[in-house]
Structure 1
Amino acid sequence: MDRESHWQGVYGSKAETAVSWYEAQPRQSLDLIRRAAPDGAAGVIDVGGGASTLVDHLLAAGYRDLTVLDISDHALARAKARLGAAASRVAWIVTDVTRWQPARTWDVWHDRAVFHFLTAPDDQDAYLAALRAALAPGAFVILATFAPDGPERCSGLPVQRYDAAMLAHRLGPGFALVAAEAATHTTPWGVEQRFTHTLFRRTLSMSGG
């Protein structure tokens, strides 16, 4: 099964609150976005946002330039239905990020738990190429992945686990680590999962990407 079919199946068969990554209140993501871009005019893209409630909270916080990207149109349809009329205030992109060529740039790239599903180096490189194309120097990257002591698999798929140093190495010298936080996420059925949350800033130097 290819990546798109897998995630279409997940979102087509499970309720929004029945996936392991569900958060009613995405506190750490919100805190890092506010730290990176306190101005509501900042452009924020949530990569792999799916049916996440993050976009709801960002709208409520006054952010006005929001984009949600996901490989599953089922997931985005759920988010749009939940938001109702407010969905028109968000740009929605259905695509595989590893095959995406951004048409604009954003001030903040947020990804909670997409990058760690990319275990093949070619897929990681394609993701990072899209990330670099989507961010001007001075923009920020928020990456949240499973930590080294986190799960080895999720949603039936193997994952790549990272600490902050490993993510910094993978992003390369064009990005400076601003903050790193350990986190424990509790799934809807009470299982604890260890995460690494990081905030990077794209440096003014274009070396390394």
Structure 2
Amino acid sequence: MKLIGEACSYGRVIDVGGGTSTLAEKLLDRGYEVTVLDISESALERDRKRLGAKAGNIRWIAADITAAPTLETYDVWHDRAVFHFLTSAADRAAYRMVLEQTVSVGGYAVIGTFALDGPEKCSGLEVQRYDGPMLAAEVGPQFSLLKCEPEMHVTPWGTHQSFQYSIFRRL
């Protein structure tokens, strides 16, 4: 949330992979126009139920980001832990295409991935690990890397996972 506040003080935000995260509600309460995109319809439904009447103020999209869903433009793109699951070059290129089409010029992308010392697998799936410059090379020259932040995430099971968040500005 802090990094989104650094990126934009108001506007339209898309939370890619938002599933059952509480971020959408926090953003909505602070005046943002929020869209949540997740591959899992059941995760979105759980979050809609949790939010009750507030859910009607959020746009919900069940889609695979690599399948090039048609999206509106946003001031801020937030992705906590989707990109690092994209282990094929084709999936990363598809993500990058949607990112470029979706983030307005002057807008921001906040992308969280496993750091270089993070786990090699998550939920039994292979992942790619990044630092800020490596992620910048993946998102391409249309985005300028502004800042990188490390984070030690503690899972619900008490395991520590090393993450990194990078903030980019769309050129």
Same fold (TM over 0.5): yes
> In terms of Rg, which structure is larger?
1
Matched, 1:50 2:15: no
Matched, 1:38 2:9: yes
Q: Conserved in 2, the CA contact under 8 Å of 1:111 and 1:142?
A: yes
Q: 2:83: which partner in 1?
A: 115
Displacement of 1:67 after TM fit?
A: 0.0
User: Which residues of structure 2 form unaligned runs of 5+?
Assistant: none
Q: Conserved in 1, the CA contact under 8 Å of 2:145 and 2:166?
A: yes
> Counterpart of 1:59 in 2: which secondary structure?
helix
- Equivalent-residue separation in structure 1 for 2:104 and 2:158 (angstroms): 40
> Counterpart of 2:52 in 1: which secondary structure?
helix
Instruction: Give 4+ residue runs of structure 1 displaced > 3 Å after superposition.
Output: none
- Equivalent-residue separation in structure 2 for 1:35 and 1:116 (angstroms): 23
Give the aligned residue type for 2:117: D
What does 1:65-104 correspond to in 2, within 5 Å?
Answer: 65-104=33-72
| TM-score (norm. length: structure 2) | 0.97
Q: Which has the higher strand share?
A: 2
Displacement of 1:154 after TM fit?
A: 0.3
- Equivalent-residue separation in structure 2 for 1:166 and 1:152 (angstroms): 16
| TM-score (norm. length: structure 1) | 0.80
Q: Conserved in 1, the CA contact under 8 Å of 2:78 and 2:110?
A: yes
Aligned length: 171
Displacement of 1:116 after TM fit?
A: 0.2
Aligned residues: CA RMSD: 0.9
Displacement of 1:187 after TM fit?
A: 0.7
Matched, 1:184 2:155: no
